[in-house]
């Protein structure tokens, strides 16, 4: 089977491409490299010893998509391409709506035209918004989005639902990721954003390798056991494997719209993450407590039981693995 992976040079996309190739799928990537580097393609080839086809371009470019579908027999699409920085989306909402939604509409139009009706979409736990309980389950309604970024995910989920209603021959799988961290065991691919990171693990890594002086823990006065926020961190390789399971499930089932949480089911506080990172890598992190970050929820984690029941998927990597693999990657990047 040949899979088109949009955003396949990015953090989650590159790990998923490796899993696809390891599982004997053929892979075509489209990425405009707006948040990734071309070197990733060679690294994927080094890791897997397999060929991967790459088109540099924007998923909003309909002509390019049509050319890709003409030049390749695409059996399914995994749609990662999108902008993902929550804070930035508040500052430049139009760029987020335009990039994330327009690219999805263009992709779906071309898929319909080419009769390719199997898509896996990267959604996010953020679509749950604020709920009465911290344990998010797929039967809950989508909540109020806390950012334009989150709103793009909620809108795309709705677009996919409407598409399925209009054309029930589509197989649509919506995967709601919790907090992906970690890196490939090879240390060749991982997440190393340019500039000052927004997310916890990339920030910890920059402090660990002395590129930034100290981590600020955003708030220690939440109603949680240690006062810091609780999230469900998931190793990116476990997450990547979830996509293979989603494709297999779609292949073996009738067209429908399927939605799954991909998370570990365990909440970990920011304080616990810092301690786990120090222990796993035998180092000390400079950190201080600061004010709460606007928009942060105190606590949420996945109920991942539907993914286990229907996809046969669950996380395997521990918090220690996430911390070790992330640090291994950043030290390799820096050539240490
Ligand atoms: P990433 O930024 O590392 O990867 C996204 C890739 O898409 C990048 O390589 C970027 O260059 C590319 N891209 C963006 N817009 C494009 C466009 N219009 N055309 C072509 N390429 C484009 O992000 P990631 O962490 O790998 O996330 C992948 C997907 O998962 C995104 O849709 C993101 O919103 C979603 N997601 C991520 C997280 C997270 O915490 N990392 C959580 C939930 C959901
Ligand atoms: N945090 C800090 N200091 C930092 C960075 C983060 O204390 O420098 C804390 C945050 O306050 C939060 C926790 O670490 O409590 C995790 O923050 P992240 O920014 O790493 O992740 P979020 O949970 O805010 O959001 C992430 C993705 C979103 C996605 C969401 C889904 O960034 O794209 O998970 O759950 F929508």
Among all bound ligands, the one having the nearest atom to the CA of 106 is 1
Choose among 25, 56, 34, 28: nearest CA to 244: 25
| Residue with tokens 């190393």, as numbered in its chain | 192
- Find the residues whose C-beta lies inside 6 A of ligand 1: 7, 9-13, 30-36, 58-60, 80-84, 99, 103, 122, 124, 177, 179-180
| Residue with tokens 């990339």, as numbered in its chain | 202
Give the DSSP H or E segment for 155. Answer: helix 148-166
Could you write out the DSSP letters of every residue in 51-94? --EEEES-TT-HHHHHHHHHHS---EEEE--S---HHHHHHSHH
Atom from ligand 1 closest to the CA of residue 123: 44
What confidence tens digit (pLDDT) does each residue in 279-335 have? 999 999 999 999 999 889 999 999 999 999 999 999 999 999 999 999 999 999 988
Of the listed ranges 42-46, 194-198, 201-205, the one predicted with least confidence: 194-198
Among all bound ligands, the one having the nearest atom to the CA of 267 is 2
Question: What is the pLDDT, as a whole number, of residue 190?
Answer: 98
For ligand 1, atom 8, the nearest C-alpha belongs to 10
What confidence tens digit (pLDDT) does each residue in 161-173 have? 999 999 999 999 9
What confidence tens digit (pLDDT) does each residue in 262-284 have? 999 999 999 999 999 999 999 99
Percent of the chain topping pLDDT 90: 96
Atom from ligand 2 closest to the CA of residue 179: 34
Question: What is the pLDDT, as a whole number, of residue 335?
Answer: 84
Q: Dihedral through CA 135, CA 136, CA 138, CA 141, nearest 10?
A: 120
Contact 230, 297 (CB under 8 A): no
Rounded to 10°, the helix 103-113/62-71 angle is 40
Per DSSP, which regions of the chain are E strands? Answer: 2-6, 26-31, 53-56, 76-79, 118-124, 135-136, 171-177, 179-181, 215-218, 230-231, 233-235, 257-262, 268-269, 287-290, 301-302
Atom from ligand 2 closest to the CA of residue 197: 8
What confidence tens digit (pLDDT) does each residue in 71-88 have? 999 999 999 999 999 999
What confidence tens digit (pLDDT) does each residue in 303-312 have? 999 999 999 9
End-to-end CA distance of the chain: 39
DSSP state of 309: I
Q: Dihedral through CA 316, CA 322, CA 324, CA 325, nearest 10?
A: 90
Choose among 100, 250, 231: nearest CA to 177: 231
Q: Annotated catalytic residue: which of 128, 149, 300, 301?
A: 149
Among all bound ligands, the one having the nearest atom to the CA of 192 is 1
Among all bound ligands, the one having the nearest atom to the CA of 121 is 1
Q: Are strands 118-124 and 171-177 parallel, antiparallel or unpaired?
A: parallel
What is the chain's mean pLDDT, rounded? 97
- Find the residues whose C-beta lies inside 6 A of ligand 2: 84, 86, 124-126, 178-179, 198-200, 203, 215-218, 229, 231, 270, 293, 296
Length of the chain: 336
CB atoms within 10 A of CB 32: 20
What confidence tens digit (pLDDT) does each residue in 113-149 have? 999 999 999 999 999 999 999 999 999 999 988 899 9
96 is catalytic: no
Question: Cα(80)–Cα(8) distance, rounded to whole angstroms?
Answer: 7
What confidence tens digit (pLDDT) does each residue in 2-29 have? 999 999 999 999 999 999 999 999 999 9
Going by C-beta distance under 8 Å and a sequence separation of 6 or more, which residues neighbour residue 71?
Answer: none
How many Å lie between the centroid of ligand 2 and the Cα of residue 311?
Answer: 27
How many Å lie between the centroid of ligand 1 and the Cα of residue 30?
Answer: 12
What confidence tens digit (pLDDT) does each residue in 203-245 have? 999 999 999 999 999 999 999 999 999 999 999 999 999 999 9
Question: Cα(263)–Cα(173) distance, rounded to whole angstroms?
Answer: 16
224: left (phi over 0), alpha (psi -120 to 50) or beta: beta
How many Å lie between the centroid of ligand 2 and the Cα of residue 265?
Answer: 17
Atom from ligand 2 closest to the CA of residue 273: 14
Instruction: Give the residue, out of 35, 107, 197, 235, with the most ligand 1 atoms within 8 A of its beta carbon, to mutate for a pocket test.
Output: 35
DSSP state of 295: T
Question: What is the pLDDT, as a whole number, of residue 146?
Answer: 87
Instruction: Give the residue, out of 296, 301, 319, with the most ligand 2 atoms within 8 A of its beta carbon, to mutate for a pocket test.
Output: 296
Question: What is the pLDDT, as a whole number, of residue 334?
Answer: 87
pTM for the model stands at 0.98
Contact 136, 302 (CB under 8 A): yes
Residue 336 predicted with pLDDT over 90: no
């Amino acid at each position: 089977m040949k899979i088109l992976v949009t955003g396949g040079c990015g953090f989650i996309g590159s790990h998923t491409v490796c899993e696809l190739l390891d599982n004997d799928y053929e892979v075509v990537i489209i990425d405009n490299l707006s948040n990734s580097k071309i070197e990733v393609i060679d690294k994927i080839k080094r890791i897997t010893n397999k060929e991967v086809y790459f088109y540099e371009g924007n998923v909003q470019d309909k002509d390019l998509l049509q050319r890709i579908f003409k030049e390749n027999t695409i059996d399914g699409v995994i749609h990662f391409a999108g902008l993902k920085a929550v804070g930035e989306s508040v500052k430049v909402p139009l760029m987020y709506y335009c990039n994330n939604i327009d690219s999805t509409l263009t992709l779906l139009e071309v898929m319909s035209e080419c009769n390719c009706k199997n898509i896996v979409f990267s959604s996010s736990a953020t679509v749950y918004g604020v709920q009465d309980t911290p344990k998010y389950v797929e039967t809950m309604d989508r909540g109020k989005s806390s950012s334009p970024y989150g709103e793009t995910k909620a809108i795309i989920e709705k677009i996919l639902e409407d598409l399925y209603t209009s054309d029930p021959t589509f197989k649509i799988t919506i995967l709601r990721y919790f907090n992906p961290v970690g890196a490939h065991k090879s240390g060749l691919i991982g997440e190393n954003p340019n500039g000052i990171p927004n997310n916890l693990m990339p920030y910890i890594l920059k402090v660990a390798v002395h590129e930034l002086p100290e981590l600020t823990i955003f708030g220690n006065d939440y109603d949680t056991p240690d006062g810091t926020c609780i999230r469900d961190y998931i190793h990116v390789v476990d997450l990547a494997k979830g996509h293979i399971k989603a494709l297999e499930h779609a292949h073996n089932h009738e067209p429908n719209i399927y939605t799954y949480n991909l998370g570990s089911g365990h909440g970990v506080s920011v304080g616990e993450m810092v301690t786990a990172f120090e222990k796993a890598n035998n180092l000390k992190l400079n950190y201080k407590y600061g004010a709460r970050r606007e928009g942060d929820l105190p606590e949420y984690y996945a109920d991942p039981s539907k993914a286990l029941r229907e996809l046969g998927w669950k996380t395997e990597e521990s918090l220690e693995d996430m911390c070790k693999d992330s640090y291994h990657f950043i030290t390799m990047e820096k050539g240490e």
